[in-house]
């Protein structure tokens, strides 16, 4: 599991620019695949061979200045709670402000590595100006310029030094299912319905949950680990109205799992926050099952289920090949079906297709519908193979891989899904020079 690094600070100091710079190095290579980053505030980065997850808190605050003050305090408290390392960004142009001092005060109490990054330092005069930030009492300063990248190397060197060593979880080879979703969507009730005991305190207050807990589950002939972000009452001081909260809570559980069960509250519909968590799972290449909970509370007409499902699929395009199960944790309706589906998705995720079978199936399809020619050049795909990765990834070897565009990539993906049943599993496709 990779460590979590949170970037905090008041508005307009350049948090997002720094975030983009830190993930771009990798994103440029990794995410060129789909070309779409849905959640602009969460990404993976690596430096000196160490990988970490990066969260930019800045994207989650909207409101007037006085709301800002309160929200930023909440965010910083949350980051202190959840992240392994914190980067505190300040701005040399505006100099030290009261809000910076507030944030520093919270950070000084944290028992976590804190890195103070003074942004917009791009000349000697500003280097001299940066010195005033020593008065925050957070130790070493890192003078950086997010825009041109100067100083970020030194910051990253120090940052990865302080990352906790990976704790190796003993792997019992069982599938790991994470139950994720917005606060109050019914995650705890779902788990209780499954386990059949009130292990989780279920209340109507959003966010009674704190750490992810693992439960070994063995019933109905299935055996797996439940990675549960539901369970322990969370600290009272962090208020619950942060969208940021559910993303932050979900990151660890998702990274830790094989399949994510995304619990959605049917009475509220599929909202932005559900979508954020969905993309978080997709970008971590996890299997996904969407569980629409509290379905017993919805007024039904003939097409209610169909309409609800279509709405979700529209929002999660282009990755729409995902099972959606309508459940009620209260009445235990289709709870077993949910688990059955998750097991099926887990199996799909670990499918290995023999190379000859893959070529025998895919090459005739490609021959029948080749990639469109570009500037009179024709792309010829001669061979394909599944890569030896834990999740389904495929390489197609072509004479001109750079001419294969997204629509064709999606066409190939859809054919692979149809032929080999990758229902509920993100797959990655690379076109390479043969």
Q: Is 24 one of the annotated binding-site residues?
A: no
Helix (H, G, I), strand (E, B) or coil at 343: helix
Q: 3-class secondary structure for 270-312?
A: CCHHHHHHHHHHHHCCCEEEEEEECHHHCCCCCCHHHHHHHHH
Q: Is 15 one of the annotated binding-site residues?
A: yes
Q: Is 59 one of the annotated binding-site residues?
A: yes
Q: Is 182 one of the annotated binding-site residues?
A: yes
Cα–Cα distance measured from residue 186 to residue 192, given in angstroms and rounded to the nearest whole number? 10
Cα–Cα distance measured from residue 366 to residue 399, given in angstroms and rounded to the nearest whole number? 14
Q: Is 175 one of the annotated binding-site residues?
A: no
Beta-bridge partner residues of 374? 377
Q: Is 122 one of the annotated binding-site residues?
A: yes
Joined tokens for residue 211: 């750490």
Cα–Cα distance measured from residue 326 to residue 293, given in angstroms and rounded to the nearest whole number? 6
Going edge to edge, which strands form the sheet with 324-326? Answer: 213-219, 222-228, 176-181, 259-265, 287-293, 324-326
Q: Is 341 one of the annotated binding-site residues?
A: no
Q: Is 410 one of the annotated binding-site residues?
A: no
- Phi-psi group of 360: left, alpha or beta (phi > 0 → left; psi -120 to 50 → alpha; rest → beta): alpha
Q: Is 11 one of the annotated binding-site residues?
A: yes
Q: Is 10 one of the annotated binding-site residues?
A: yes
Q: Is 142 one of the annotated binding-site residues?
A: no
Report phi then psi at 287, rounded to 5.
-70, 150
Going edge to edge, which strands form the sheet with 3-8? Answer: 42-47, 50-56, 3-8, 85-91, 114-119, 141-143
Q: Is 13 one of the annotated binding-site residues?
A: yes
Cα–Cα distance measured from residue 121 to residue 133, given in angstroms and rounded to the nearest whole number? 12
Q: Is 152 one of the annotated binding-site residues?
A: no
Q: Is 134 one of the annotated binding-site residues?
A: no
Q: Is 39 one of the annotated binding-site residues?
A: no
Q: Is 188 one of the annotated binding-site residues?
A: yes
- Is the CA virtual torsion 158, 159, 162, 163 positive or negative? negative
Q: Is 409 one of the annotated binding-site residues?
A: no
Q: For residue 198, which of 208, 207, 189, 206 has the smallest C-alpha distance?
A: 189
Q: Is 97 one of the annotated binding-site residues?
A: no
Q: Is 232 one of the annotated binding-site residues?
A: yes
Cα–Cα distance measured from residue 292 to residue 307, given in angstroms and rounded to the nearest whole number? 13
Q: Is 120 one of the annotated binding-site residues?
A: yes
Question: Could you tell me the maximum CA-CA distance found in the chain, to the nearest angstrom?
Answer: 70
Complete DSSP assignment for 71-131: HHHHHHHHHHHH-SEEEEEEETTT---HHHHHHHHHHHT-SS-EEEEEE---SHHHHHHHG
Joined tokens for residue 60: 């989650």
Q: Is 228 one of the annotated binding-site residues?
A: yes
Q: Is 16 one of the annotated binding-site residues?
A: yes
Q: Is 186 one of the annotated binding-site residues?
A: yes
Q: Is 80 one of the annotated binding-site residues?
A: no
Cα–Cα distance measured from residue 314 to residue 49, given in angstroms and rounded to the nearest whole number? 38
Cα–Cα distance measured from residue 228 to residue 191, given in angstroms and rounded to the nearest whole number? 8
List the binding residues.
9-16, 56-60, 119-122, 181-188, 228-232, 293-296
Give binding residues for GTP as ranges.
9-16, 56-60, 119-122, 181-188, 228-232, 293-296
């Amino acid at each position: 599991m990779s460590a979590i690094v949170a970037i905090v600070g008041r508005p307009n100091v350049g948090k997002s620019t720094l975030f983009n710079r830190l993930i771009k190095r990798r994103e440029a290579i990794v995410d060129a695949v789909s070309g779409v980053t849905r959640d602009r505030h969460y990404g993976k980065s690596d430096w000196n061979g160490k990988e970490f997850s990066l969260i930019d808190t800045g994207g989650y605050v909207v409101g007037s200045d006085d709301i800002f003050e309160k929200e930023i305090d909440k965010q910083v408290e949350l980051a202190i709670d959840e992240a392994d390392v914190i980067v505190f960004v300040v701005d040399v142009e505006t100099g030290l402000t009261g809000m910076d001092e507030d944030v520093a005060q919270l950070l000084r109490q944290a028992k976590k590595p804190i890195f103070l990054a003074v942004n917009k330092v791009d000349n000697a005069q500003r280097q001299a100006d940066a010195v005033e930030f020593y008065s925050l009492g957070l130790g070493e300063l890192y003078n950086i310029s997010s825009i041109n990248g100067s100083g970020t190397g030194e910051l990253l060197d120090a940052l990865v030094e302080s990352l906790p060593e990976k704790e190796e979880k003993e792997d019992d080879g069982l599938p790991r299912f994470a139950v994720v979703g917005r606060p109050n969507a019914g995650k705890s009730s779902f788990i209780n319905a499954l386990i059949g005991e009130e292990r989780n305190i279920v209340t109507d207050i959003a966010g009674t949950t704190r750490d992810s807990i693992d439960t070994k589950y063995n019933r109905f002939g299935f055996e797996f680990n439940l990675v549960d972000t539901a369970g322990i009452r969370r600290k009272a001081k962090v208020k619950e109205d942060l969208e940021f909260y559910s993303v932050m809570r979900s990151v660890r559980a998702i990274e830790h799992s094989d399949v994510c069960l995304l619990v959605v509250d049917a009475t509220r519909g599929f909202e932005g926050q559900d979508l954020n968590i969905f993309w978080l799972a997709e970008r971590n290449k996890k299997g996904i099952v969407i569980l629409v909970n509290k379905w017993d509370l919805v007024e039904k007409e003939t097409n209610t289920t169909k309409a609800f499902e279509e709405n979700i699929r529209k929002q999660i395009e282009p990755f729409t090949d995902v099972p959606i199960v309508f459940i009620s944790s209260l009445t235990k309706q289709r709870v077993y079906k949910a688990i059955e589906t998750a097991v099926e998705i887990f199996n799909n995720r670990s499918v290995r297709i023999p190379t000859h079978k893959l070529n025998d199936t895919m090459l005739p399809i490609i021959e029948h519908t080749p990639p469109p020619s570009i500037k009179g050049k024709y792309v010829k795909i001669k061979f394909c193979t599944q890569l030896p990765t834990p999740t389904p990834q495929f390489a197609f070897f072509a004479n001109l891989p750079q001419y294969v565009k997204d629509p064709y990539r999606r066409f190939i993906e859809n054919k692979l899904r149809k032929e080999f049943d990758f229902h509920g599993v993100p797959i990655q496709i690379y076109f390479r020079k043969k």
